[in-house]
């Protein structure tokens, strides 16, 4: 096929003057992406709450919901009340390869009352690169859009304007006519039942307030990213692997080439986190079913845990790289209670060790002082170091985490102790660009030590690394004790 001439949804809304750039002009591309994704997440949550409050009578159709590239409705009651279709190039979204019992459970949810169905898009269709949702009901019409502008910056917008919604529907209708012409008449009849008109101003005000109330915290914002093709991802990986690698000094300024690393990381994060987020959402939906068998529920919890772990891992890596490449290396630091942090983290670290047949030895002082740092990042950074040690040790080895007061600082030490075995275990670790390390044996992707050191420095501390042998590493972190505690 030739080049597409149909406009994107972003271009349609731009023509309606619905996308003014009023804030964030000084943000980086990564920061704009995070901001736009937070807004999208908040908007979907706000829309869900409003739809639940419409009071649709049983057996009646409350409206039509068109979205892409994945469905936005997950509540069984909403799936029964609204006719919903998802435009996608990936049909596997609606047919996950799960055990038969789970697959049938999914079918009963998604196909309830002939609800969610998919509408195919050509892979080269520009619509496939946009995250969107169009809703028409008796009381209002709404379009939500997460896309990119002409400069490649992520942008979120929404509109209740009837003319904008009509234009978007006509653009979507063209896809239906091209790809599923037998459905066009059915959709026309449904849409005609809900003519768009300006909504009550109180509903718009309610939506705005709910959007703000449902904004995820910036450090924990789930990513709902635009899909990247395997071709684009492979091209980014090849560019990095073909470049001559050189070690990155801890205090050195980031080279211009690091922008490619950020692009690569963003590509990997989007390619991995997007399907994981979808799988986790479907898994949690299944876990709420009262008829789920105990063994199936156990497996679902394992799936949920693994998805969350990988989503958090890539979120932490991207946050660290964002700090590494930003002009400002500092962050807002606060006094935190380490005793509480360790209480919450030790069970998770213990599970990390047990999964690989390792022993975890925790040595803490009788009284843990408060330290000045970033609580969330410190927890993630320590978990990352323990995970790094766990993935490089043979079964039977020990990871020791020890905390001790050293003057005006708290000394945290993560140490690997090899098991007494004649078997050699030397995992291969390769550099991937200027900031990442890759372990082919396990598929593990992690920050390199230079970036990790800089991360601890940004958190107000300092990290040193001592290599006792090819496999035994000792990570020592120094964190400043809260000043008020020093005077006591």
- Per-residue pLDDT reduced to its tens digit, 77-99: 888 899 999 898 754 444 443 44
pTM of structure: 0.49
* CA pair distance 208, 187, nearest whole angstrom: 29
Residue 276's pLDDT band (boundaries 50, 70, 90)?
A: confident
Q: What Cα–Cα distance (Å) separates residue 59 from each residue in 55, 79, 81, 112?
A: 12, 12, 7, 12
What percentage of the chain reaches a pLDDT higher than 70? 73
* CA pair distance 389, 413, nearest whole angstrom: 12
* CA pair distance 170, 380, nearest whole angstrom: 46
The reported pLDDT for the residue numbered 317 is: 81
Section 122-136 average pLDDT = 87
Q: Edge to edge, what strands does the sheet with 82-88 contain?
A: 117-120, 82-88, 63-68, 131-137, 141-148, 154-159
* 443-478 burial: b if 16+ Cβ within 10 Å, else e: ebbbbbbbbbbbbbbbbbbebeeeeeeebbbbbbbb
Tokens of 404: 């001790």
Section 106-111 average pLDDT = 44
Tokens of 485: 């505690």
Q: What is the CA radius of gyration of the chain?
A: 25
Question: Which is higher by pLDDT, 126 or 463?
Answer: 463
What's the distance, CA 51 to chain centroid?
25
* CA pair distance 328, 15, nearest whole angstrom: 37
The reported pLDDT for the residue numbered 252 is: 37
Residue 64 pLDDT greater than 90, yes or no? yes
Tokens of 1: 């096929």
The reported pLDDT for the residue numbered 376 is: 77
Section 153-170 average pLDDT = 90
Question: Which is higher by pLDDT, 276 or 488?
Answer: 276
- Per-residue pLDDT reduced to its tens digit, 416-444: 888 765 555 566 677 777 777 777 766 67
Match 């619509």 to its residue by tokens. Answer: 127
* CA pair distance 260, 256, nearest whole angstrom: 8
Q: Which helix (H) or strand (E) holds 410?
A: strand 409-417
Section 95-118 average pLDDT = 46
- Per-residue pLDDT reduced to its tens digit, 404-413: 998 889 999 9
Residue 239 pLDDT greater than 60, yes or no? no
Q: What are phi and psi of 222, to 5 degrees?
A: -65, 145
Cα angle for residues 404, 472, 378 (degrees, 5° grid): 45
Task: Show the DSSP H helices in 18-158 as ranges.
Answer: 29-52, 76-81, 100-110
The per-residue DSSP string of 222-288 comes to PP-PPP--HHHHHHHHHHHHHSPP----TTSPPPTTHHHHHHHHHHHHHHHHHHHHHHHHHHHHHHT
Residues 6+ apart with CB under 8 A from 122: 1, 89, 128, 179
* CA pair distance 139, 287, nearest whole angstrom: 33
The reported pLDDT for the residue numbered 124 is: 77
Bridge partners of 417?
A: 398
Cβ-in-10-Å burial (0-12, 13-18, 19+) of 486 comes to: exposed
């Amino acid at each position: 096929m030739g080049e597409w001439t149909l406009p994107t949804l972003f271009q349609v809304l731009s023509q309606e003057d619905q996308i003014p750039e009023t804030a964030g002009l000084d943000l980086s591309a990564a920061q704009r992406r995070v901001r736009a994704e937070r807004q999208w997440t908040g908007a979907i949550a706000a829309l869900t709450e409003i739809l639940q409050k419409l009071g649709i009578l049983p057996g009646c159709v409350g409206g039509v919901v068109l979205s892409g590239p994945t469905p936005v409705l997950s509540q069984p009651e909403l799936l029964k009340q609204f006719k919903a279709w998802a435009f996608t190039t990936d049909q596997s979204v609606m047919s996950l390869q799960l055990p038969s019992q789970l697959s049938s459970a999914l079918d009963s949810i998604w196909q309830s009352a002939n609800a969610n169905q998919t509408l195919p898009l050509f892979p080269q269709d520009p619509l496939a690169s946009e995250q969107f949702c169009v809703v028409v009901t008796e009381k209002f019409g709404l379009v939500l859009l997460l896309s990119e502008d002409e400069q490649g910056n992520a942008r979120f917008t929404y509109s209740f304007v009837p003319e904008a919604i009509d234009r978007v529907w006509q653009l979507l209708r063209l896809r239906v006519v091209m790809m599923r012409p037998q459905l066009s008449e059915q959709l026309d009849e449904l849409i005609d039942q809900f003519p768009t008109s300006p909504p009550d101003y109180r509903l718009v005000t309610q939506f705005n307030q709910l959007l703000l109330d449902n904004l995820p915290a910036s450090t924990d914002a789930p990513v709902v990213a635009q899909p990247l093709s395997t071709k684009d991802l492979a091209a980014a990986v090849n560019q990095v692997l073909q470049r001559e690698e050189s070690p990155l000094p801890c205090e050195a300024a980031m080279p211009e080439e690091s922008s490619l690393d950020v692009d690569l990381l963003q590509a990997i994060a989007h390619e991995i986190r997007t399907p994981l987020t979808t799988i986790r959402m479907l898994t949690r939906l299944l876990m709420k079913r009262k008829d789920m068998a105990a063994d199936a529920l156990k497996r679902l919890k394992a799936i949920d845990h693994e998805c969350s772990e990988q989503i958090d891992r890539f979120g932490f890596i991207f946050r660290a790289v964002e700090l590494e490449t930003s002009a400002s290396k500092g962050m807002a630091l606060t006094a935190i209670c380490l005793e509480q942090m360790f209480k919450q983290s030790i069970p998770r670290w213990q599970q990390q060790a047990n999964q690989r047949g390792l022993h975890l030895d925790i040595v803490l002082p009788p009284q843990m002082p408060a330290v000045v740092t970033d609580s969330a990042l410190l927890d993630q950074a320590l978990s990352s170091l323990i995970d790094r040690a766990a993935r490089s040790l043979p079964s039977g080895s020990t990871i020791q985490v020890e905390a001790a007061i050293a003057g005006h600082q708290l000394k945290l030490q993560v140490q690997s102790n090899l098991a007494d075995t004649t078997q050699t275990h030397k995992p291969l670790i390769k550099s991937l660009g200027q900031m990442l390390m890759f372990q082919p044996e396990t598929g593990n992707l992690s920050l390199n030590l230079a970036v990790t050191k800089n991360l601890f420095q940004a958190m107000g501390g300092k990290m040193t690394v001592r290599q006792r042998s090819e496999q035994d590493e000792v990570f020592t972190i120094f964190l400043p004790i809260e000043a008020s505690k020093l005077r006591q």
